[in-house]
Structure 1
Amino acid sequence: MARNKLKVVITGGSAGVGRAAAEAFAQHGHDVALIARDPARLERAANELAGRYGVRALALPADVANAEAVDGAAEAALQAFGRLDVWVNVAMATAFAPVAALNARDIERGTQVTYLGQVNGMLAALRCMRAAGHSGRGTIVNVGSALSYRAVPLQSVYCGAKFARRGFTDALRSELLHDGVDIHLTMVDLPAINTPNSTGR
């Protein structure tokens, strides 16, 4: 297993889908770095994974909406692991309300986390995977939604961010293919999930 052990970063890794993804990687013996805003919950998740599976599990508190914070967390993971093989962008925020009930801050925050958070993650992952001494290889996984293809009422903030995320991902994938870069970029579009009650909360 040591030869094939991956070094994985997961945003939104302390709860919901991100926590479940971290569990799955750790269960297979891979080292994980978890990025999320709540330091206490993040530390608890990392300790549980390390204790249960004997892997290295890093707790890296950061708000994905803050590009500098994401870069700092990525650098910490790179320094600790020596390389990054997989980066999974999961973190999201939304406002469940009709458009008429939303304010600018609701829309701004949802867009910053759900769209720009994934953009910040992609940029940080690309930088680390192309860093000096690295193989120039890796995989970036953006967790999306069926709502990035079909918008629904009461989820305008989330749908708008996910549509934007899909556009950015498609454009970046085209550039990587054109440049012959051995970094794979993929999207996993999920159905509706009740994150607060998901495994690992």
Structure 2
Amino acid sequence: MEKENKKDIVVITGASAGLGRAIAKEFASHGARVALLARGKGRLEAAKKEIEEMGGEALTFSVDVANAEQLDAVASQVEEKWGPIDVWVNNAMVGVLSPVKEMKPEEYKRVTEVNYLGQVYSTLAALKRMLPRDRGSIVLVGSALAYRGIPLQSAYCASKHAVQGFFDSLRTELLHDKSNVRVTMPQLPAMNTPQFD
């Protein structure tokens, strides 16, 4: 009797639209089971339907990545349902297009919570499960703006600079520990996504 091929278990934040949805569909097209995380229930269900129409499997979770407890609970639910998480993609983001002089403190706070702390909290949830198994991959979705601040996007640029610093520290620690958990941070260019809506 042939052994059944194991399907990768993938968690994607910001999976309901734009890049996150495209990432989810790409993993599903290669047979992965995909856990879709985002705030908007309608878009989540639409993304799940697209994956199922492709013959894939998806779970949806309406969560705020700025809430560490919610992310940890989702990770537990995914593993209870499907087994160990193989890949975690941190893609959720928000932005505010505005000159610094017109930005409000709460706007900086929210962008930082989602774009930076959301990636940190998601990574912690993934590491909690991957490190004891000594396997797994974590993707922190970056931006060319992690290296260069531009006008009208100070909060976004600052958050991506912060993610880059976090990534560098984490990567160095994993290398030092000779861990088989992998981490990467692709730095993406501007893309035509719902970000600008």
- Whether the TM-score (by the shorter chain) exceeds 0.5 is yes
* 1:157-172 alignment runs, 5 A limit: 157-172=155-170
Q: How far apart in 2 are the matches of 1:41 and 1:154?
A: 28
SS in 2 for 1:3: coil
Corresponding residue pairs, total: 194
Q: Under a length normalisation based on structure 2, what TM-score does the superposition of the two structures give?
A: 0.94
Question: When the two structures are superposed, what TM-score results if normalisation uses the length of structure 1?
Answer: 0.92
Q: Which has the higher contact order (CA 8 A, sep 6+)?
A: 1
Q: CA deviation at 1:129?
A: 1.6
Query: Given the alignment of the two structures, is residue 114 of structure 1 paired with residue 112 of structure 2, yes or no?
Result: no
Residues 1:101 and 1:9: Cα distance change in structure 2 (over 3 Å): same
Range with bigger deviation, 38-47 or 146-155: 38-47
Query: Is the Cα contact below 8 Å between 1:137 and 1:183 reproduced in 2?
Result: yes
Compute the displacement of 1:72 (Å). Answer: 1.2
Structure 1 vs Structure 2: percent identity of aligned residues?
51
Question: Unmatched 5+ residue regions in structure 1?
Answer: none
Displacement of 1:139 after TM fit? Answer: 0.5
Give the distance between the partners of 1:76 and 1:51, measured in 2 at CA. Answer: 23
For the Cα contact (< 8 Å) 2:95–2:195, is it kept in 1? Answer: no
Q: Secondary structure of 1:70's partner?
A: helix
Instruction: Determine the structure 2 residue equivalent to 1:21.
Output: 23
1:1-201 alignment runs, 5 A limit: 3-52=5-54, 54-130=55-131, 135-196=133-194
The letter of the residue matching 1:151 is G
The 3-state SS of whatever aligns with 1:58 is: strand
The amino acid that maps onto 2:183 is: L
C-alpha separation between the residues in 1 aligned to 2:4 and 2:194? 34
- List 4+ stretches of structure 1 deviating above 3 A: none
- Whole-Å Cα distance in 1 between the matches of residues 187 and 59 of structure 2? 26
* Residue identity opposite 2:20 in structure 1: G
CA contact (8 A) 2:95 2:153 kept: yes
Equivalent residues of 1:87, 1:141 under 8 A apart: yes
Shift of 1:4: 4.9
How many Å separate the matches in 1 of 2:4 and 2:108?
44
TM-aligned CA deviation for residue 130 of structure 1: 3.3
